[in-house]
Chain A
Amino acid sequence: RKEVEQDPGPFNVPEGATVAFNCTYSNSASQSFFWYRQDCRKEPKLLMSVYSSGNEDGRFTAQLNRASQYISLLIRDSKLSDSATYLCVVKGSPNAGGTSYGKLTFGQGTILTVHP
């Protein structure tokens, strides 16, 4: 089983639509969770962190369910500029020796295309 799994899509939606991405992770000891955005042929950039209480940033809402080991991202009122790959990212816990500061593990990404 992959450490972080996402539906690769692609998702093709019209402008103004609401779209949701899901992600599951396998390590119950994972500490932190993020969504990164990666435009075509560009580097990944942090979109938002994900907190247990859920958090919102404008049109974007992220939620975490630790019991189910499930993370989601909701995009409301989609814009053309939202077209990108959305990467679910999980940060593990430091190892027993304290020498690893919790590496980031990326999902394969979900491709979103917003069309006029």
Chain B
Amino acid sequence: EAGVAQSPRYKIIEKRQSVAFWCNPISGHATLYWYQQILGQGPKLLIQFQNNGVVDDSQLPKDRFSAERLKGVDSTLKIQPAKLEDSAVYLCASSLLFQETQYFGPGTRLLVL
């Protein structure tokens, strides 16, 4: 079974630039999550989708971050404009509806210079 796919795997940008990340969850997983993991810390939930609806975005910095999951499958996370402190690994995860086990993708490593 294919796992969670993410692209790109690495991205280097300058501050104030924009960047977008893509995630394709495991087939059939209705719930999709985006996490930010700063070096030395555990992942922090940014946003949770159930199908194409937002369930929790309480920790998403909405002035610069946005995310969508228009057709209830793939999702994109955008940062505009990026700041130095956005340097982190952005992890996408998915799970079956109401199931606790989350499966993570390999992540996108973002470096903001």
Contacts and interface: CB of A to CB of B under 8 A. Distances in A.
Interface in B65-113: 91, 98, 100-102, 104-107
B44 interface: yes
**Prevailing SS type, chain B contact patch:** loop
B48 A103 contact: yes
B20 interface: no
A99 B42 CA distance: 24
Given A87-B42, A103-B45, A108-B42, A43 B56 contact: no
A99 B55 contact: yes
Interface in A33-47: 34, 42-46
A45 B42 contact: no
B26 to A, nearest CB: 13
B91 A43 contact: yes
A103 B50 CA distance: 12
A43 B104 contact: yes
A107 B100 contact: no
26 contacts: A4-B42, A32-B100, A34-B100, A42-B106, A43-B104, A43-B105, A43-B106, A44-B104, A46-B101, A49-B100, A87-B42, A89-B42, A91-B100, A99-B55, A99-B56, A100-B48, A100-B56, A101-B50, A101-B55, A101-B98, A103-B45, A103-B48, A103-B56, A106-B42, A107-B42, A108-B40
